[in-house]
Every structure is written in structure tokens, then in C-alpha cells.
């Protein structure tokens, strides 16, 4: 059974499209065209991720994917999955390169600041705030660094290092 932690959230079934069980998925992505031709997705039904196979799909209005699932052929079938989250396995994510990264990808990486030196290990990404933050464990102290493009100098996947350059004194604030 696939676990949510092995998946990423792709979007949500927001409405029915026809009497034949078609539904519309609102994709939560900047690159909807990458998901135009999926063979299947996992639908979150009562905390189980259930695979649904896609008969046909078409992208309309940017991030809306119209989908006809196999075995979903009536309005009642569609009602049963309405408002459900849609997930895909992490290994289906397109690989990012350079300084673009997925949040889950950098957990466990070491943060090195160009002025301060080694800061610590990323334990979590806090994306509840207006600006997402790296949550970093420095020998038991929490350090928070805003994930601002200007701060992030290099993602070194091979050595699992995120190089940052933060304003003077930012890191020290957490260590006093």
C-alpha cells in the first residue's frame, strides 16, 4: 500500500464535468502540462490512497485537468470521489536541476552559509508562513532561514549541501 509520505499532492477533484462520470481536477502545480498524459493517479479516499486509471484526460484553462477514469461512469461514481485529493508517487516528479528543488528533496541536507559557515541540518520546511522557511537543527537549537531566491546560492545534491548567503546576524539571532 502506497503511503502519503511516499507521494506528493498534485491537486483536488473539484467538480463533475458530465453525466458520464467525468471529473475536473484542479492541479496544484506551476507546470500543468507535465501531467497532461498520466496513466493513473492515486485518489485519497478515507485516508487510503487508491489507484485510479485514466481513460482520457485533457487540460483546460491552465490548471484544470478534465479526466475520465476507468470504472467511474456515472454521476454517483463521480460524487464518491468528489473533493478528494490527488497524489502521485514521488519518483514520478520531474527531476529538478540547478537551484530549483522540491521541499522534500532537501530534508537532511546540510546548510552552509557563506559568511557564517556550517549552520546545521534541514529537518523540515515550514511553508505555513508567508515566506517558506528552512527549519535547521544546529546541535539542538532551531535556526530558521527564509527560502528566498537571493539567499539560496547553490543546491549541491551530490554532497547534500544547501549553500546560502544570509544577512549578517540573521543566524546569530537564533543562537544567542
Q: Are residues 161 and 137 in the same domain?
A: yes
- Checking 132-139 for CB contacts under 8 A at 24+ apart, the result is 132/103, 134/106, 134/162, 134/164, 136/111, 138/174, 138/175
Q: Are residues 107 and 86 in the same domain?
A: no
Q: pLDDT at position 157, please?
A: 92
State how far the Cα of 49 lies from the Cα of 115, in Å rounded to an integer: 45
Average pLDDT of the chain is 91
| Residue whose C-alpha cell is 546545521 | 120
- Whether 1 shows a pLDDT value over 70: the answer reads no
State how far the Cα of 159 lies from the Cα of 3, in Å rounded to an integer: 28
Q: pLDDT at position 47, please?
A: 80
- CATH number of the domain bearing residue 30: 2.40.30.60
Q: What is the pLDDT of residues 26-39, one digit of tens each?
A: 998 878 888 888 89
Q: What is the pLDDT of residues 37-81, one digit of tens each?
A: 889 999 999 888 999 999 999 988 788 999 999 999 999 999 999
Q: Are residues 8 and 87 in the same domain?
A: yes
Q: pLDDT at position 74, please?
A: 94
Amino acid at each position: 500500500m502506497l503511503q502519503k509520505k511516499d507521494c506528493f499532492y498534485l491537486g483536488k477533484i473539484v467538480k463533475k464535468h458530465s453525466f458520464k462520470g467525468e471529473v475536473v481536477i484542479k492541479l496544484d502545480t506551476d507546470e500543468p502540462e507535465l501531467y497532461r498524459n498520466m496513466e493513473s493517479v492515486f485518489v485519497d479516499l478515507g485516508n487510503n490512497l487508491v489507484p485510479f486509471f485514466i481513460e482520457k484526460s485533457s487540460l483546460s484553462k491552465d490548471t484544470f485537468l478534465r479526466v475520465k477514469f476507468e470504472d467511474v461512469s456515472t454521476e454517483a461514481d463521480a460524487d464518491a470521489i468528489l473533493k478528494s485529493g490527488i497524489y502521485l508517487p514521488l519518483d514520478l516528479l520531474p527531476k529538478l536541476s540547478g537551484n530549483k528543488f522540491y521541499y522534500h528533496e532537501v530534508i537532511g541536507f546540510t546548510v552552509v552559509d557563506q559568511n557564517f559557515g556550517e549552520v546545521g541540518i534541514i529537518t523540515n520546511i515550514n511553508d505555513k508562513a508567508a515566506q517558506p522557511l528552512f527549519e535547521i537543527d544546529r546541535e539542538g537549537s532551531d535556526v530558521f532561514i527564509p527560502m528566498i531566491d537571493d539567499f539560496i546560492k547553490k543546491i549541491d545534491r551530490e554532497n547534500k549541501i544547501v549553500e546560502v548567503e544570509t544577512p549578517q546576524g540573521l543566524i546569530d539571532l537564533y543562537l544567542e
